[in-house]
Amino acid sequence: MSLFLDHVRQTLTTIDTAGLTKRERIIDSAQGAHVVLRDGRRVLNLCANNYLGLANHPKVIRAAHDALDRWGYGLASVRFICGTQTLHQTLEARLSQFLGTEDTVLYPSAFDANGGLFETLLTAEDAVISDELNHASIIDGIRLCKARRFRYRHNDMADLEVQLRAARSAGARFLLIATDGVFSMDGTIADLPSIVRLAEQYDALTMVDDCHATGFLGPRGRGSHDYHGLIGRIDLLTGTLGKALGGASGGYTSGRREVMELLRQRSRPYLFSNSIAPPVVAGALAALDLLESSSELRERLTTLTAHWRSGLARLGLTLKPGTHPITPVMLGEARVAQSLATRLLERGIYVVAFAYPVVPEGKARIRTQISAAHSPADLDFALEQWAKALTDAP
């Protein structure tokens, strides 16, 4: 044990020396546009995935309370033994309808949805063609399966075609293209029209992880397939209930009925991990009610994002271009980004700096994320503080 502990300490020191130690920021309040830190300070929060501001919405909380009373605290079971309530089935049907698919399977998390997908559907005879910047859960899911792996350069359709050809020449039986719908570090929306066209040309299946899109992207907020006018054209969608759809936890995979049936038979995180707690399921249903009954939250998010992006640009900052509420401010060196994030926090603005290895070397950034819970005044305050922080002594 002591040799092992020495080894662990050594690893921690290596992480720390490289400047890669991650420290949790402890929050002493509910999630929202503003949060209270442990030292009692109330700060503006620009780094949650709370896109529609539903994480602390009164209707979502009410629904969760009611479900706690009606359906209990938890199921103490996996889905197929005694962990499926009518409530779970209602959410699965509701998500299928919302996403424009035939059927949906709930998972404890989107991480698990991705973890239980590839291994269940593909074998060593098949191939996965994956964007190099895909989320860790897609990468791990692919690692668990025996299919051959091909990686294409980020959102690079010429390279995707090269890899599809390579997979075909290698004699793969089924080909599956896997991509994030929106890439979290850049806010880039995947080029799904080209992906779908190439998939048709090379007879490949398509899988899109839409965690940063479900609920708000596209004319009806269905996600990146809605944004691109491709509802019904993506074979497999995975997503989370932990971001725009209420922000608690839980995930899903959605697609063709037979494929979902096979996941229910074989997918390990579905078979061997607990059901989503009833209050969370009810909260997600309330979130869907809210965003399907009115486009107000989505429109507010769009307007606020445009306001924020143009305000930052007016300060002379370099942004990753786009329209997604993920708005990365590009700062280059890691310590420049770190030091600016620290100064902003001192001024009551909570943002996070990301540096290598999370993003490429020399491309350090502060990733800001807009929420429908923000007000225009919140963003104006943040812009004012940002302008001042730029001239604060580092």
Ligand X SMILES: *Cc1c(COP(=O)(O)O)cnc(C)c1O
Q: Residue numbers of the site for ligand X (CB under 6 A)? A: 109-111, 135, 137, 180, 184, 209, 211-212, 240, 242, 251
Is 307 considered catalytic here? no
CB of 254 to ligand X, least distance (A): 14
Spot the catalytic one: 88, 225, 243, 320: 243
Instruction: List Cα–Cα distances, 107 to 88, 114, 176, 340, 358, in angstroms.
Output: 11, 9, 21, 38, 26
Instruction: Specify the pairing of strand 103-107 against strand 148-152.
Output: unpaired
**Cβ atoms within 10 Å of 119's Cβ, excluding its own:** 18
CB of 203 to ligand X, least distance (A): 26
Rg over alpha carbons for the chain, rounded to the nearest Å, is 22
Spot the catalytic one: 57, 212, 228, 320: 212
The Cα 232–Cα 206 span in angstroms is: 11
**Residue 230 identity:** L
Chain-centroid distance, C-alpha 22: 19
- Of 48 and 340, which has the nearer Cβ to ligand X? 48
Q: Spell out the residues 6+ positions from residue 63 whose beta carbon is closer than 8 angstroms to its own.
A: 282, 283, 285, 286
CB of 307 to ligand X, least distance (A): 24
- Of 110 and 366, which has the nearer Cβ to ligand X? 110
- Of 96 and 184, which has the nearer Cβ to ligand X? 184
Is 96 considered catalytic here? no
CB of 158 to ligand X, least distance (A): 24
Is 184 considered catalytic here? yes
Spot the catalytic one: 96, 109, 137, 184: 184
Give helix 296-314 / helix 278-293 axis angle, nearest 10°: 80
- Of 130 and 240, which has the nearer Cβ to ligand X? 240
- Of 212 and 367, which has the nearer Cβ to ligand X? 212
Q: Which of 320, 300, 93 is nearest to 216 (CA)?
A: 300
CB of 367 to ligand X, least distance (A): 12
| Catalytic residue set | 184, 212, 243
